[in-house]
Amino acid sequence: MNEDEKRLYDLIARRFIAVLYPPYKYDQTTIITEVAGEKFISRGKAITDRGWRAVQAGSPEQENRDSEAEPEQTLSQHAKHEQVNVKTVNINKHKTKPPARYTEATLLTAMEHSGKFIEDEELRESIKGSGLGTPATRAEIIEKLIRTSYIERHGKELIPTSKGIQLVDLVPTALRSPELTAQWEQRLTHISRGKEKKNAFIADIRKDTIELVNVIKMDTTTYRADNVSKTKCPACGKNMLLVNGKRGKVLACPDRNCGHRQAENEDVFGRKGNSRATQRLIAQYSDQEELGTSLGEKLKAAMEKKNSKK
């Protein structure tokens, strides 16, 4: 056998023999040491029988990998209330870290187990089997948030945009919480068990919808797009918005009826890129979802129009 084959053979043989060996035994030790009235905790293990580990190829590095994240330190045996001496004292400075940003994978998991974010035990139970969205729709919900510029992909991380943060501030509390979904799930379960009539549920959904829309209408906070550029739309003269297009930054007219778009580095006459005729075609047929299609924004736009007419 050559070197590699030998190593592989050894690995397989040792694994096979290890299966037949007795368990690996150790005592998990926690020692609480009191120094000047403060309690210090040390955790470690004292191996009592190496068992199957004795057969393992046995570099300590390998053992650590096998024992996963178990504490590596071995603590010597001590009796209760034993007096010990403090040899040295070190102060370590640490800072807490903010929670990690969501990645697509962790956000999907959070949506699946959204019950974690609910305090009420009964409600948490009712959302357990479902979460937010369904396995088929969750990925698409995230894609839509990206398409509509509520969140952006920065490498693996998902970062909320200013627009996304403002939306969360604008919508009524009920719509921001998985509790609403949990309440609906709970009532749907009741209906399926014959404990509640569907008409009452539908009536409540109607009532809630009217109330929520009214809350949004009454709200005086306004959405401020902070991606407004100084470049005026060549077609209608409004200040264009800087948005993320499929091929980099794009200037888009905020007026959906106008729909003019151009690459960020193009001048207003489109001299660097397409002819104006082509641009008009692109504007007409490209999706305009990046400009935002949320209910809140639509309502606000409608209200602002109405108010300005008065």
Return the residue of 175, 191, 215, 258 that touches Zn ion, per CB under 5 A.
Answer: 258
93 CB-near residues (< 8 Å, 6+ apart): none
Residue 252 is a binding residue for Zn ion (CB under 5 A): no
Separation between Cα atoms, residue 25 and residue 156, nearest integer Å: 41
Residues of this chain, 228-247, that bind Zn ion according to CB under 5 A: 233, 235-236
* CB nearer to Zn ion: pick between 106 and 239: 239
Q: Are 261 and 253 in contact (CB under 8 A)?
A: yes
User: Residue 163 or 261: which CB sits closer to Zn ion?
Assistant: 261
Confirm or reject binding of residue 260 to Zn ion (CB under 5 A).
yes
Nearer to Zn ion, 172 or 234 (CB): 234
Q: Which of these ranges, 88-96, 102-110, 150-158, 250-258, lies near Zn ion under the rule CB under 5 A?
A: 250-258
As to burial, measured by CB atoms within 10 angstroms (0-12 exposed, 13-18 middle, 19+ buried), residue 125 is middle
CB of 223 to Zn ion, least distance (A): 19
What SS3 class is residue 209?
Answer: helix
Among 107, 253, 261, 262, binds Zn ion (CB under 5 A): 253
Per-residue tokens: 189: 């379960």
Please state the closest distance from residue 117 (CB atom) to Zn ion, in A. 41
Distances (CA, A) of 277 to 136, 239, 274: 40, 21, 8
Give least dist CB 198 to Zn ion, A.
47
Q: Which is nearer to Zn ion, 255 or 264 (CB)?
A: 255
Which phi and psi (to 5°) does residue 271 adopt?
A: -65, -30
Distance CA 161, CA 222 (A): 16
What is the helix (H) or strand (E) element at residue 107, kind and residue range?
A: helix 104-112
Distance, CA of 105 to CA of 21 (rounded, Å) = 39
- For Zn ion, give the closer residue by CB, 18 or 258: 258
Q: Is 268 in the site for Zn ion (CB under 5 A)?
A: no
Query: Which positions touch Zn ion (CB under 5 A)?
Result: 233, 235-236, 253, 255, 258, 260
